[in-house]
Chains A and B, each alone.
Chain A
């Protein structure tokens, strides 16, 4: 059964317990950060911080509103990172987690090419730049806990019920239920359709584009097609082009050869004499 998490922005108080829980469960090293004016240092997901809470101040109906947005891997239904990986190191498990193939041996499929980082529409996969032999790192949806029927570490740690963990259908139904019942909410469940849908979805009372979500790109709404389906539209032609173009070339070569002169190439070329 595919799992998901509903993040209700209206309930988050920015305590960052989820960040702490994530780091301690996954044994991620602490790193010195610096103070930032937005108060959300370290601010961006990186190889040692698989989840961060970003702080946004915006103006709503003349009132200042401060919102806190937990960011982590969205665990796409059809992950771009999985499709981009040329050794198929990432997989989407049936539980919904997008992870490195889950054994220590298979984990070493990764070549470190970083095409997954180009491919991810949410900018999630991060690289261990300081390491000699780095891996790509990102949230694993606590796949190791999931198998024992435990909630992800961040969900367990959340004191306000911002994070609601359950079956994908259940959390989507819950999301729409809350949005429909309370007029404060924006009528949109972010992640339901974006890029083919994601296992983590968000609801909010502040427009999504004001709290760091991309709802449109260059004046158009972001696509609801999954990225793997887009690349496959092109890649599926590869065998056709291979054999078709090969046949055309062979035919052309045979046709023009009849008219071509026969000559011995070894008579035509010579090493150049470098002028001393």
Chain B
């Protein structure tokens, strides 16, 4: 579909399905805004937070971790070999944050009051820090995206101004997500005596920010492969393979700190007490931490697309699994009652992620996000990009 001279959006049956989901979700969201949370969700006094906070917000933000880890690797450490994936990572991250903000807006009961924390400061609340950081960081990402935007839409004065701001924005754009990725973990410090001790810890902020960071490269690998397949391009396999070094070492540190923390708090044996929680914890550790460590450590696995992709998928599912364990598994015993999301909660969630896919496609098809094909083809890889720059 051609929209004007410079814009296009391809319509496929799959995209029509996504559009239908988005429309359905929008209708459900409208209903929720008018009739309240009780009318559309299965939330209760025992389970005040459900799918939208547990999955869309916590996991959406974690999955968007690719943005700040890539920014750190490419723009602060100047590891230029990773440039091919930099913009795609920024884009996914920005969209992930917008999803998080939308789900937060959906989830708050008095939604017309969303602006309150900007003016009435409950600075002793972890949520206050999370709210401010997410709001500021989303703004920063939108401004950063301006650099890409102005490559297509010419507006020299704004572009120059933006260019001057960029270094500062870049640093802020790493500091803010570092802070709130950890704070999303700190949110659960209040759940002492309720969150199962295998997950509750005073250093839960460390586990959250660390896992959000090492999730970044894995997420980039998956997105890169999906985008390459969708657009018939070569996946940036050498970039993916070399990124595994980051993930590998961070996973090892994560595992060691996790074990040390359990030993320090004297709850290590709870991992083997056979309870539902302990089994979920063991699955999280063995399948989603140890297994990827082994896979990333073996060169013949990480250098094949199938291998690096499988391990990356494990890492990403692992982080989602961890967040779900914190929000649901670890809290179930203390909160009592039961919760399973209603069909409307699922629909709105599905609609939000469908919107993400659609917007992602629209932007990559109309803005310079992906590396130019000749770099990929000429050298067969992104790793040799260094020599390709001078051309």
Q: Which stretch (A153-161, A174-182, A201-209, A266-274) binds chain B?
A: A266-274
**Inter-chain contacts of B75 with A (CB < 8 A):** 253
* Pairwise interchain contact A230-B202, C-beta atoms closer than 8 A: yes
The interface size of chain B toward A, counting residues with CB under 8 Å, comes to 89
Q: Which of A119, A250, A268, A276 contacts B375 (CB 8 A)?
A: A268
**Inter-chain contacts of A260 with B (CB < 8 A):** 78, 80
Complex CA gap A249/B69 in Å reads 12
Q: Which stretch (B186-194, B301-309, B341-349) binds chain A?
A: B186-194
Complex CA gap A232/B271 in Å reads 28
Complex CA gap A46/B267 in Å reads 34
Q: Which of B110, B112, B192 contacts A230 (CB 8 A)?
A: B192
* Pairwise interchain contact A231-B190, C-beta atoms closer than 8 A: yes
* Pairwise interchain contact B122-A256, C-beta atoms closer than 8 A: no
Asked whether A271 and B80 contact (CB < 8 A) given A87-B122, A234-B189, A250-B171, the answer is: no
Q: Tell me whether A130 is interfacial, beta carbon within 8 Å.
A: yes
Complex CA gap A129/B197 in Å reads 30
**Inter-chain contacts of A241 with B (CB < 8 A):** 175, 178-179
Q: Tell me whether A88 is interfacial, beta carbon within 8 Å.
A: yes
Q: Which stretch (A14-22, A24-32, A55-63, A103-111) binds chain B?
A: A103-111
* Pairwise interchain contact A242-B175, C-beta atoms closer than 8 A: yes
Complex CA gap A217/B277 in Å reads 14
The interface size of chain A toward B, counting residues with CB under 8 Å, comes to 75
Q: Which of A88, A119, A252 contacts B77 (CB 8 A)?
A: A252
Asked whether A246 and B175 contact (CB < 8 A) given A84-B190, A275-B232, the answer is: yes
B150-197 at interface with A (beta carbon < 8 Å): 151-152, 167, 170-172, 174-175, 178-179, 186-187, 189-194, 196-197
**Inter-chain contacts of B233 with A (CB < 8 A):** 272
Closest to A234 in B: B186
Asked whether A272 and B370 contact (CB < 8 A) given A129-B38, A253-B76, the answer is: yes
Q: Which of B116, B124, B151, B364 contacts A266 (CB 8 A)?
A: B151
* Pairwise interchain contact B368-A266, C-beta atoms closer than 8 A: yes
A25-46 at interface with B (beta carbon < 8 Å): 44-46
Asked whether A275 and B231 contact (CB < 8 A) given A127-B45, A218-B197, the answer is: yes
* Pairwise interchain contact A231-B124, C-beta atoms closer than 8 A: yes
> A: which residues have CB within 8 A of B?
44-47, 80, 83-89, 108-115, 117-119, 121, 123, 126-135, 214, 217-218, 222-223, 227-228, 230-235, 238, 241-242, 245-246, 249-250, 252-253, 256-257, 259-261, 263, 265-276
A sample of 23 cross-chain residue pairs with beta-carbon separation below 8 angstroms, ordered by A number, consists of A45-B45, A109-B120, A110-B113, A111-B117, A117-B48, A119-B190, A127-B43, A132-B35, A214-B193, A218-B270, A223-B192, A230-B189, A231-B186, A235-B126, A235-B129, A235-B186, A246-B171, A249-B76, A256-B78, A269-B148, A270-B370, A271-B366, A273-B231
The 7 residue pairs across chains A and B that have the minimum distance between CB atoms: A112-B109, A129-B38, A217-B193, A269-B368, A88-B122, A86-B128, A260-B78
